[in-house]
Structure 1
Amino acid sequence: MTSTDSTTTSGSGPASRSALVAALRAAGCVFAEDEAELILATARTPAEAAAMADRRASGLPLELVLGWAEFAGRRIVVEPGVFVPRRRTEFLVRQALAERPGARVVVDLCCGSGAVGAALAAALRPVELHAADIDPAAVRCAARNTAAAGGRVHQGDLFEALPGELRGRIDILAANVPYVPTDEVGLLPAEARDHEPLVALDGGADGLDVLRRVVAGAPGWLAPGGLLLIETSERQALAAAEAFTAAGLATRVAEDEELYAQVVIGTRAG
């Protein structure tokens, strides 16, 4: 009997894989079959699988049910109260690696789980990796995800969190800043709105408050030829690019229509 055929137990008694799928589908899970497979592959016991399916059916995001999210081919630990990495952000990682394949100093700002930093470090090793976030829960989670790369994780508000020794040395500065306009946070899917920290979502009146602060401070931290990359939305990309240019960075906007991803990229003059 395979793991996907085995029975699970819950408070209501035995449940087969097909029953798990049915329960997830009834709860509104569009990819119920895939989610059931992930739950069964992650759970250590049938009873744990059933409990995980129950939590998912109650509305808990799948990544928090599993305890991990797939990102750039890696399993990233995710914990309650921490922003879950989005697959579209893999585009930012690919852009950074294509532009600076020889980068040796990398900073993941507004790091959340540390997924971006972990992915960059895995591709660039050896690398000096730093990550920073204002949220202590994110800092703890990022420390777990960047430990294998020797990452140093700092708590604080943007550049205030970073050690001064990094000034003028950063080859890749990736900042997955919050960019949802304040009055649109309530329109987000419940999985984000109810389970992720507001500080990781709310970007101010037009969604660009944190982005502008990062862009303004970045030139003093980047090495000559260093790269700043920030994800944003399609409708914000032009205004974001203008902020990059105003800060003296050579700027371009990269887009992946399939992932619905836009990344503004700025380079400090060499």
Structure 2
Amino acid sequence: MPPLPPLTPPSSSPSSRTSVVAALRAAGCVFAEEEAALILAAARTPAELAGLVDLRVSGRPLELVLGWAVFRGLRVAVEPGVFVPRRRTEFLVDQALARVPDAGVVVDLCCGSGAVGAALAAALGPVELHAADIDPAAVRCARRNVAAAGGQVHTGDLFAALPTGLRGRVDILAANVPYVPSGEVALLPAEAREHEPLIALDGGTDGLDVLRRVAAEAPGWLAPGGCLLVETSERQAPAAVEAVTRGGLKPRLAVSEEGYAHVVTGKKRQYR
């Protein structure tokens, strides 16, 4: 996937820009000027511009209006019904590269758009890349985003989706699992709860149901020295570390204060 190219200046007239900014501001968009510039650059005709503005004003996330999100310098395709990659998840990619800088086999589990896998492949160079998700819409979207890296995308429930030949060979197992407690999904911003699939958000009673399943099975898939990485919240981090430890991996909690990101890693010990 090529790096994000610079945006070309919109050709719309000042009056169009002014009206778009006004419409977005009236709808409560905090960064109305910046969003207007992106929408104006994306629209090819006045009718398309009006349609894009209407979608944004109605509450559709900007990334789904544009059809792409920026993730670690890449333009990642997104589409309605697919989880939009968060900037804080870039920290998970950073941690993966720091922990296993020479990885040759990468798996992006619960891949959504495939942004994590695409970013890892872009940073590592040629790798064997696999991504998997239970949601067919996510699988379809991820295929677009990992194609340039020669990645394969599989449909299914966690490890059941993966080729058995990957067992014991995975260097980086990135699993951006859903971790919102079921009772707190209704408290999410409308952009998430109304436009993203529940299966990508709801992590069960305490938010860690999927994470525990991943941590329990990960050791059988990791190569010696391979690393599992999962994103979680500050409140859930101790329980996530415990789950990784119970799985037999060496845990580590990494925190980005700036990005308000918490990543638990679990490394498989090398054979003696």
- Structures share a fold, TM > 0.5? yes
Matched, 1:6 2:18: no
2:229 is the alignment partner of 1:223: no
Alignment of 1:204-223 (within 5 A): 204-223=204-223
Amino acid at match of 1:98: A
Match of 2:101, SS state, is: coil
Identify the residue that residue 78 of structure 1 maps to in structure 2.
Answer: 78
Name the counterpart of 1:55. 55
1:28 deviation in Å?
0.4
- Tell me, in whole angstroms, the C-alpha distance in 1 between the residues paired with 2:223 and 2:243: 19
**For residues 86 and 206 of structure 2, what CA distance do their matches in structure 1 show?**
21
Larger deviation, residues 228-237 vs 39-48 = 39-48
SS of equivalent to 1:16: helix
With 81-90 and 32-41 compared, the bigger mean Cα shift is at 32-41
Does structure 1 conserve the Cα–Cα contact (< 8 Å) formed by 2:11 and 2:41? no
How far 1:48 sits from its partner (Å)? Answer: 1.6
Letter aligned with residue 31 of structure 2: F
Deviates more, 1:240-249 or 1:168-177: 240-249
In structure 2, runs of 5+ residues without a counterpart are 1-7
1:164 aligns with 2:170: no
Q: List runs of 5+ in structure 1 lacking aligned partners.
A: 9-14
The Cα offsets for residues 148-192 of structure 1, whole Å up to 9 and x where unpaired, read as 000100000000000000000000000000000000000000000
CA contact (8 A) 1:114 1:141 kept: yes
- Which segments of structure 1 move beyond 3 Å, counting only runs of 4 or more? 2-5
The correspondence of residues 89-104 of structure 1 with structure 2, limited to 5 A, is 89-104=89-104
Q: CA deviation at 1:5?
A: 6.2
8 Å CA contact 1:178, 1:203 repeated in 2: yes
Tell me by how many angstroms 1:122 deviates. 0.7
One-letter identity of the residue aligned with 1:245:
T
Aligned residue number for residue 117 of structure 1: 117
The 3-state SS of whatever aligns with 1:140 is helix
What percent of counterpart residues are identical? 75
TM-score normalised by length of structure 2: 0.94
Number of positions where the alignment pairs a residue of Structure 1 with one of Structure 2: 263
Q: CA deviation at 1:3?
A: 4.4
For 1:94, give the aligned amino acid. D
The worse-fitting range, judged by mean Cα deviation, of 40-49 and 230-239 is: 40-49
Residues of 2 paired with 1:4 and 1:173: CA distance?
Answer: 40
Note if contact 1:4-1:17 (Cα within 8 Å) is conserved in structure 2.
Answer: no
The corresponding residue for 1:260 is 260
Measure, in 1, the Cα distance between the counterparts of 2:119 and 2:159. 21
- Summarize deviations over 1:41-69 as a string: whole Å, max 9, x none: 22223332222112101111101100000
Q: Deviations over 1:126-145 (max 9, x none)?
A: 10000000000000000000
- Mapped to 2, the partners of 1:69 and 1:136 lie a distance apart of 20
Does the CA contact (< 8 Å) of 1:109 and 1:174 recur in 2?
Answer: yes
Letter of the structure 2 residue corresponding to residue 173 of structure 1: L
* Higher mean C-alpha displacement, 82-91 vs 40-49: 40-49
CA distance in 2, matches of 1:3, 1:122: 27
Q: Counterpart amino acid of 2:208?
A: L
Which residue number in structure 2 is paired with residue 11 of structure 1?
none
Q: How does 1:139-218 map to 2 (within 5 A)?
A: 139-218=139-218
Query: 8 Å contact 2:117–2:129 — kept in the other structure?
Result: yes
